[in-house]
A and B are shown apart, each in its own frame.
Chain A
Amino acid sequence: MSKVPADLKYTKTHEWLRTLPDGSIEIGITDHAQHALGDLVFVEVPDVGRSIKAGEPCAVVESVKAASDVYSPVSGEVTAGNPQLAGAPETINTDPYGGGWLMRVRPAAGGPATELLSPAEYEKLQQEEGD
């Protein structure tokens, strides 16, 4: 069973969200997602300052097997892309909820967000998908 930290929100497309003290949102992919992808070998994160829309692909994670898009759950402006992942993409495999974060976004006021799941709801989704 993959880890689902209780202090995060989740999406149906296997991203996680953490609200940081300054109000920005940190985004990554879940333990379930990294496990399904396998060994990650390349990660492309968005440039700082890029304006992104909820539901649109904003990062790419590539394992040995395949490339997958990561969808932003919120609209806003990118304030950081994780610089460590260029040299160490496997950080997502070893620490998906910590050092493996992908990007930070300052959410647009009142901007649309995709439907977010609680930890319990996300665990249920994983079970349905046969984790």
Chain B
Amino acid sequence: MGRQTPLYQLHRELGARIVDFGGWDMPVQYSSQIGEHHAVRRAAGVFDVSHMCVVDLKGARVRPFLRMLLANDVEKLVRPGKALYSCMLNESGGVLDDLIVYYLADSWFRMVVNAGTRDKDLAWIRQHAREFDVGILERTDFAMLAIQGPEARAKAAKLLGRVGAATALELDTFVGREIEGWFIARTGYTGEDGFEVMLPAADAARVWRELNALGVASCGLGARDTLRLEAGMNLYGNDMDEKTHPFESGLAWTLAMEPGGTTGARNFIGRQALEAIKAQGSRAKLVGLLLEDRGVLRSHQKVLVPGLGAGEITSGTFSPTLERSIALARVPQGTGQQVQVDIRGKLLAARVVKPPFVRFGQALVK
């Protein structure tokens, strides 16, 4: 038996199928994975993401600490509540994790890191925080719900008082704040609008049932995966890990490698290695694939690139929105528009596309 979130018992009562996910017993689906997927694209769904790790970082020097720790630059965070997506790298430029960091106050930031990397991340963060005298507190008192879909914010706001609801509905994209004792952020992992809400663990089951009563569908990790892949979002451990760097993982946009400025170049962990890779040019890149033949792309299938050799699918699935198979794949740098994928010994045609595949309910590729 794995670790359980505060909602585990409720998932069982709701008839969820439970699977192991990074050492956690998590709901993979309640009724139909495709039905849950469509609920989020067309209306609203709620996911239990309490397995993710919320960490508060406090100290007078927390900002310089995070500027050293993260490959994106928290100096971009000016307004309290603003969030930033970043990679945390090792010295060789490999991705230790991808995360979201919120600027809450000058001496207080909050990070959300992946469940499967929790112990490794915390050890790494603590090790480097020492010289900055930054305190690290894991917020195991929170449950976390992701409420996603075109109707998600309006439905979630009904759980709040009049003033709280108005405040929540005014939140800009990628901004969070504390409202009525909950931390509500306009973030997500589905390609739809919505909130991610951190709330006291004891409130979580009641809130979930109230959301269900408002027509918000219970959604499992299965739908979460097809939604994020349609949205072209990476999954740590599939699309990047310690052995791959951001340039070959579609994550160059998250790197803040400006050469200097008034304060001089920022020397974050992994920068030296990245500069060398950048100077040489990355040999591989992460692209989107659309299967033109019938079948389903899956991770680890081989991608054959005319004249350049081979690559590999890092995440693949059937896209319920497009009703065909899509994938992310790591392929040689010069890969053009057409490739072949080896599925059980058959070579099937796939087209290289730029993710996302789907955004705000709309197909972006044909």
Contact = CB atoms under 8 A, between A and B. Distances in A.
Interface in A1-56: 38-39, 41-42, 44
A109 interface: no
Contact of A64 (B294, B295, B318): B318
Interface of A: 38-39, 41-42, 44, 60, 62-67, 86
A67 B298 contact: yes
Contacts of B366: none
Interface stretch (B26-34, B47-55, B109-117, B138-146): B26-34
Interface residues of B, number: 17
Nearest to B343: A67
A86 B317 CA distance: 17
Given A38-B33, A38-B222, A64-B317, 4 more contacts: A41-B318, A62-B295, A62-B318, A65-B28
Given A42-B318, A64-B317, A86 B294 contact: yes
B222 A65 contact: yes
Contacts of A41: 34, 296, 318
Contacts of A63: 33
Nearest to B29: A38
6 contacts: A42-B325, A60-B344, A62-B295, A64-B34, A64-B317, A67-B296
Contacts of B32: 38-39
A22 B311 CA distance: 49
B298 A64 contact: no
Nearest to A36: B17
Interface string B1-36: 000000000000000000000000000110011110
Given A38-B222, A41-B296, A65 B33 contact: yes
9 nearest A-B pairs in the assembled complex, by CB-CB distance: A41-B318, A39-B34, A62-B296, A64-B33, A42-B296, A64-B318, A38-B33, A39-B33, A39-B32
Contacts of B298: 66-67
B313 to A, nearest CB: 13
A44 B346 CA distance: 12
Contacts of B226: 64
Contact of B295 (A38, A39, A42, A65): A42
Contacts of A44: 295
Contacts of B296: 41-42, 62, 67
A100 to B, nearest CB: 16
B80 interface: no
B182 to A, nearest CB: 32
A64 B344 contact: no
Interface string B218-234: 00001000100000000
A33 to B, nearest CB: 14
Contacts of B295: 42, 44, 62
Nearest to A62: B296
Nearest to B318: A41
Contacts of A60: 344
A106 to B, nearest CB: 25
B320 interface: yes
Contacts of B325: 42
Given A60-B344, A64-B318, A65-B222, A42 B34 contact: no
Nearest to B294: A42
B18 to A, nearest CB: 11
Interface string B338-366: 00000010000000000000000000000
